Amino acid sequence: MRFNAKDLALLAKRPSGCFDKEGKLKICRLVGDEKLIEPRERWCRLKGNLLFLMKNKSSEASEVVILERCWVVEFRSKTDVSIILKFQSGEPDLYLEAASKPDCEAWAVALGEANSEGLRNKIQQLRRLIMEIKEERASDEARQFLPSSQVDSLGEPQFTSIQRIANEPKLEFSLACKGLVAATRDRKLNTFIQVSVVHPAEHILTRYSSTEIVEGTRDPLFLTGVTFPPEYPIYEETKIKLTVYDVKDKSQGTVRTSVLPDHKEPRADVGRSFLGCTTFRVGDLVKSKEQQLTLTLRTSDGGKTVGTIEVNLVKMGEFEDGEMGHITTDAQDQKFLCFLPLKSCSCGFLSATCAHNTENLERMADRRAKEECALVRECTTPEGLSGKDNLPSLNAVLKNPICKLYRFPTSDNKWMRIREQMAETTLSFHVPKELINLHIKEDMRRNQELKDLGELAPHWDNMRKSVIAHCDQMLSMYQDTLAELGKHTGSSFKSSCSKGEKTLEFIPINLHLQRMHVHSPRLKDALYDVITVGAPAAHFQGFKNGGLRKLLSKFEAERRNTGYQCIYYSPENTAKAKEVLSNINHLQPLISSHADLLLNSASQHSPDSLKNSLKMLSEKTELFVHAFKDQLVRSALLALYTARPGCVIKKPAVPRNSAEEGDDLKHQDHPSQIKRQDSIPHHSEYDEEEWDRVWANVGKSLNCVIAMVDRLLEKDSSKIKEGENDPSAADCKVLHAGGDWYEQLYPLVITLKDCMGEVVTRAKQSMAFVLLQELACGLPQCLMLTLRRDIVFSQALAGLVCGFIIKLHTSLHDQGFLQQLHTVGLLVQYEGLLSTYSEEAGMLEDMAVGISDLQKVMFKVIEAKSEDFLPIITGRREHYVIEVQLPAKMFELLPQEIKEGKLLRMYPVLFNVGINEQQTLAERFGDTTLQENINQENLELLKEYYNLFTEKMPPDCLPHFQEQNDLKGLLENLHQNIQAKRRKNVEIMWLAATICRKLNGVRFTCCKSAKDRTSMSVTLEQCSILRDEHQLHKDFFIRALDCMRSRQTQGALNESDDPETGCLTDNKPTSRHFYPVALLLVSSHLLVVWLILSLALLLAKYQ
């Protein structure tokens, strides 16, 4: 481009008022990230698209910068006052530094609007303003000629709604282009379509979504469709704009440096160029006879035709014919481009690489593109409940869904349609908060029990004070965490960039439901669910010393060598002590209430009620007595007595065990035979058999109550027989019978309560003393390990509850599954993709313990009594019960056993195979024993579940199998692959996932952050299911895979998030010093070279 130097010089010297903006800036040129020279101060004047650089205000212009084919990068931090101009031509970037942040922002806006594209944006904005003014004038004129009653109706615009099936998307359509014109004849186009919506009420253009990129053809047919959910405000008057772009620079097609408002069109930058656009009304598509529109694509000025675009209305229950010949013929000519985007810290839709050993592709997530989507249609099978019945309970669990629509060809030349849905879950925060609340209550009870131990010797008393101080400190930390979580607002999941935050350490990372709904022409509709979540691990605490698996083993070994400081109790004994305390807290109030009911029945002289009350009292009391039939309580009481000041132990003359004592008690049922015992003596001799007598008194008291009730009922029956002969005498006796029953039972019931209270006091103190030893032997490591285990378990439990609820909703009409659920239990299979190298080995250890701890979780399904359908969590650290609430109509579909409150068991299993470059290092220079041991241990658990399943379930409960031996063969194959110990043996994951699906289990896929490797695994699994179960055309497997993995389909072309910080990045590709892993597998020499080069590059970067 030529310029007249004299004219430019004269323009630069014009008065200040003639310029768009002027002022002082420090300026220099950049090559990469390095400044060629130090920034120098210049007087800058901006006129149109010309930026004049002058040494001072009165001097001549030393340089003129033409602001075309360039863009502005503005740094968003509060302290940075610099901006960068990048040029498409490749010349060095221009660094501009202002004096203040407001000045910097003003220059960024001025420079961004200085080029011709900025002028076009202004023109479009002015056109929209003119349209709004015209509409307001037309509305005012109409009001002048309308009656007042009709004027009121014009307050809000009336639009025509689209008539669709309830809970189905309002609008879905597919796209294809024909005869696209390239800038040059020889150029092969790589095209995609960006879909924008013009809302009739606002007249603002909003970017909605985009298709995938089809490479190397002028007649692209796009497999990704467009779907508008039921809640989206779209009407027949709504206009949809389709813009076709040609991607030139494939490596930067999705990376941009500035964020534009939704109403602005994106600029054509280095990665792509504008081809043409067209607009249509939704009503024209819906009302067209053939449900299809053929539109002409024109350039921005509306003059030149660049091709046509076909818009086909899609209905999930209908199929297209006649296009497969065209697609199959052109399949070899059309290449498909899968973008390589940067990570998105919000971890939305899935994107990944198709190679087994790569993780550099990420999820295609742009949270701005998310729209509310129907959950009901996805959550039930075709025979399932209606959407109205299912919607409230699911909306309580799932939130902010994203839906995508695809159409893929089948092997018999038909179309199948796939709706892919990803949703967050409110359980990500609900379950951890409920769990922390339980921890707080449990720890408060424990601290109080330690304080109630009474007087102890100085050594033990000091130990108790130290333990209570540490426990109070830990309790305060739990309370602070719960308070912080209560303040949380915003998204209902924790992004990967927040995994190191202390206040969110109980929250699972990126917990989402990934669902695929398949509608095939000749096969039954099917749903496939996978729960994706980051590996449950204590990221804030770090992995310097390993994970829970190693830390717990080391801690247990150290506890055995505590010496004289405290008494060692095994983990089994401490778990038993916690169980005894839990049984006490649960059974004592129940026995008291049943005893009161017995007295109430006696006062009312009701024989039937008396029998029922006695039956319940007997059952609960027997459970109570059985809970203390353990040597641990007896030995703990002795240990507690030795910890009292001035204790003397008296050996019994004749040793007797508790079992013999219990047998003798059955023959002693009179209250006069029961001898009340004092509390544990402090300064007197202690009889070791004293506990047996105290414990046996409860059984004796119960026998007395039973005998008295039998005697009363026998007398009552004899009086009834006498009354038949003399009715008047019988009436007189009945008047006094009620009082006699109550008076005779009352002393016995009081004795039972007193005996039970004495047992409770002694047992609580003894078990609290056991817990004191556990805590004292490992302070503060014991409490820190408990905290770490709580954190990991909280993350694992949130995912499990989500998976169970979703599985229950989708299988309510599957009687075989419901029978399996209450007869055998639910299989929960976790697919781990963590390496056994560096920090990820610690994560894997945490994950293994957290998933193993899920075995102590039981589920119970109850009928919801209100509109709150969130699950309720009860229990303690060794045993939790999750109560899942269902609406009345759904609850009635359950088997009687589940409706009666039967507890449902979980069988969690974990199979891990590292697949990234760190696993390559672990296999060549490290150790993979951890992975091998975990897989072997969980294989045994899976076999145990299979054996239980085959014993209790009929053979016809396996819907996917023709023969009974199929599962057995898969298990044997899995066993062989685990024993083979091959490197990166992904066959283990495929076999485990297949077995899980065949056994009606719940599938989880986990990696470090539930993004890279998780995305890769899920999308590959989905396409494999389409191929194996739904006859996906073999030539379209890779295209379908790339289509699901492409972030381009999300329409997020203008933002990119840094994988660790979540901040906006510039247009420079991320610098990674990792070369293709496939090369590293060739030879160990290449691996050494790779390590040396990476180290050299890192040193050069940070010097």
pLDDT tens column, 224-250: 999 888 778 888 889 999 999 988 755
Smallest Cα–Cα separation from 1012: which of 473, 509, 631?
Answer: 509
Q: Note whether 803 and 1004 are within 8 A (CB).
A: yes
Buried b / exposed e over 884-908, threshold 16 CB at 10 Å, is: bbbbeebbebbeeebbeebebbbbb
The CB density around residue 38, as the number of other CB atoms within 10 Å, is: 7
What pLDDT score was predicted for residue 414?
A: 86
pLDDT value at 1057 more than 70? no
Smallest Cα–Cα separation from 487: which of 503, 510, 474?
Answer: 503
pLDDT value at 448 more than 50? yes
**pLDDT confidence of 438, banded at 50, 70, 90?**
very high
pLDDT value at 710 more than 60? yes
> Torsion angle, CA of 928/931/934/940, rounded to 10 degrees?
-90
What pLDDT score was predicted for residue 715?
A: 82
pLDDT tens column, 301-312: 777 888 999 999
Long-range CB contacts for residues 473-479, cutoff 8 Å, separation at least 24:
474/443, 474/783, 474/786, 474/787, 475/440, 475/443, 475/444, 475/447, 477/787, 478/436, 478/439, 478/440, 478/443, 479/440
Distance between CA 959 and CA 32 in Å, rounded?
60
> Can you give 717-775 as a three-state secondary structure string?
HHHHHHHHHCHHHHHHHHHHHHHHHHHHHHHHHHHHHHHHHHHHHHHHHHHHHHHHHHH
Distance between CA 772 and CA 640 in Å, rounded?
11
pLDDT value at 478 more than 50? yes
pLDDT value at 904 more than 90? yes
Question: Terminus-to-terminus CA distance in the chain, angstroms?
Answer: 42
- Strands (E) across 292-345 are located at 292-298, 305-313, 335-337
pLDDT value at 199 more than 80? yes
What pLDDT score was predicted for residue 155?
A: 45
Q: What is the mean pLDDT of residues 486-495?
A: 86
Distance between CA 834 and CA 43 in Å, rounded?
56
pLDDT tens column, 128-165: 677 666 655 555 544 444 444 444 444 445 777 776 66
Q: What is the mean pLDDT of residues 1081-1103?
A: 64
The residues, ordered by sequence, that sit 6+ positions from 559 with a Cβ below 8 Å of its Cβ are 568, 777, 778
| SS3 call for 859 | strand
Q: What is the mean pLDDT of residues 871-881?
A: 92
pLDDT value at 772 more than 70? yes
Residues in the chain, overall count: 1103
Amino acid at 460: W
What pLDDT score was predicted for residue 505?
A: 94
Smallest Cα–Cα separation from 733: which of 749, 717, 710?
Answer: 717
Smallest Cα–Cα separation from 426: which of 488, 501, 362?
Answer: 488
Distance between CA 1009 and CA 508 in Å, rounded?
10
What pLDDT score was predicted for residue 379?
A: 36
Buried b / exposed e over 171-193, threshold 16 CB at 10 Å, is: bbbbbbbeebebeeeeeebbbbb
Poorest-confidence range of 60-74, 314-328, 993-1007, 1019-1033? Answer: 314-328
Smallest Cα–Cα separation from 114: which of 106, 102, 104, 126?
Answer: 106
Helices 571-603 and 690-725 pack at an angle, to 10 degrees, of: 20
Strands 415-425 and 239-247 come out as unpaired
Q: What is the mean pLDDT of residues 1049-1061?
A: 38
Distance between CA 448 and CA 445 in Å, rounded?
5
What pLDDT score was predicted for residue 165?
A: 61
pLDDT value at 479 more than 80? yes
**pLDDT confidence of 849, banded at 50, 70, 90?**
very high
Neighbour-count burial of 548, counting CB atoms closer than 10 A to its CB (0-12 exposed, 13-18 middle, 19+ buried): buried
What pLDDT score was predicted for residue 839?
A: 92
Torsional sign, CA 134, 136, 139, 145:
negative
Percent of the chain with pLDDT over 90: 29
Verdict on whether the full-model pTM lies above 0.75:
no
pLDDT tens column, 735-755: 444 457 888 888 998 998 888
Poorest-confidence range of 199-203, 616-620, 765-769, 1041-1045? Answer: 199-203
Smallest Cα–Cα separation from 323: which of 333, 336, 310?
Answer: 310
> Any catalytic annotation for residue 1007?
yes
Integer CA distances (angstroms), 643 to 708, 772, 938, 958, in order: 42, 12, 43, 59
pLDDT tens column, 273-304: 888 899 999 999 988 888 899 999 988 777 78
The CB density around residue 422, as the number of other CB atoms within 10 Å, is: 24
- Strands (E) across 169-222 are located at 171-178, 190-198, 205-210, 213-215
Q: Note whether 826 and 904 are within 8 A (CB).
A: yes
Of residues 412 and 1099, more confidence is placed in 412
Of residues 761 and 165, more confidence is placed in 761
Poorest-confidence range of 20-34, 648-662, 682-696, 1079-1093? Answer: 648-662
Poorest-confidence range of 173-177, 770-774, 933-937, 998-1002? Answer: 770-774
Integer CA distances (angstroms), 76 to 82, 108, 496, 1002, in order: 10, 11, 21, 43
The residues, ordered by sequence, that sit 6+ positions from 7 with a Cβ below 8 Å of its Cβ are none
Mean pLDDT of the chain: 78
What does residue 819 show for φ and ψ, rounded to 5 degrees? -65, -40
What does residue 278 show for φ and ψ, rounded to 5 degrees? -155, 165
Active-site pick, 1007, 1023, 1043, 1063? 1007
Distance between CA 819 and CA 741 in Å, rounded?
46
Q: What is the CA radius of gyration of the chain?
A: 37
Q: Note whether 242 and 193 are within 8 A (CB).
A: yes
Q: What is the mean pLDDT of residues 875-890?
A: 92
The CB density around residue 981, as the number of other CB atoms within 10 Å, is: 13
pLDDT tens column, 919-973: 888 888 888 999 999 999 999 999 999 999 989 887 766 654 444 568 889 999 9
What pLDDT score was predicted for residue 964?
A: 54
**pLDDT confidence of 976, banded at 50, 70, 90?**
very high
What pLDDT score was predicted for residue 347?
A: 38
pLDDT tens column, 379-397: 333 344 444 455 667 778 8
Distance between CA 367 and CA 348 in Å, rounded?
7
What pLDDT score was predicted for residue 763?
A: 86
What pLDDT score was predicted for residue 562?
A: 61
Give Dmax over CA atoms of the chain in angstroms. 137
The tokens of 1026 are what?
Answer: 């389409």
**pLDDT confidence of 365, banded at 50, 70, 90?**
very low
Neighbour-count burial of 194, counting CB atoms closer than 10 A to its CB (0-12 exposed, 13-18 middle, 19+ buried): buried
**pLDDT confidence of 542, banded at 50, 70, 90?**
very high
Q: Note whether 328 and 413 are within 8 A (CB).
A: yes
Smallest Cα–Cα separation from 620: which of 587, 593, 669, 662?
Answer: 587
Integer CA distances (angstroms), 554 to 209, 781, 782, in order: 53, 11, 11
pLDDT tens column, 567-583: 888 888 888 888 888 88
**Strand arrangement, sheet containing 526-534:** 398-409, 415-425, 512-519, 526-534, 1002-1007, 826-832, 904-912, 857-863, 879-886, 872-876
Smallest Cα–Cα separation from 436: which of 473, 396, 484?
Answer: 484
Strands 305-313 and 292-298 come out as antiparallel
| SS3 call for 925 | helix
DSSP code at position 1003: E
Percent of the chain with pLDDT over 70: 75
Long-range CB contacts for residues 681-686, cutoff 8 Å, separation at least 24:
681/641, 682/454, 682/455, 682/644, 682/645, 682/646, 682/647, 683/644, 683/645, 683/646, 684/648, 685/648, 685/649, 685/650, 686/638, 686/641, 686/647, 686/648, 686/649, 686/650
Please tell me which of 104-113, 216-225, 368-377 the model is most confident about, judged by mean pLDDT: 216-225
Q: Note whether 797 and 485 are within 8 A (CB).
A: no
pLDDT value at 342 more than 90? no
The residues, ordered by sequence, that sit 6+ positions from 990 with a Cβ below 8 Å of its Cβ are none
pLDDT value at 376 more than 70? no
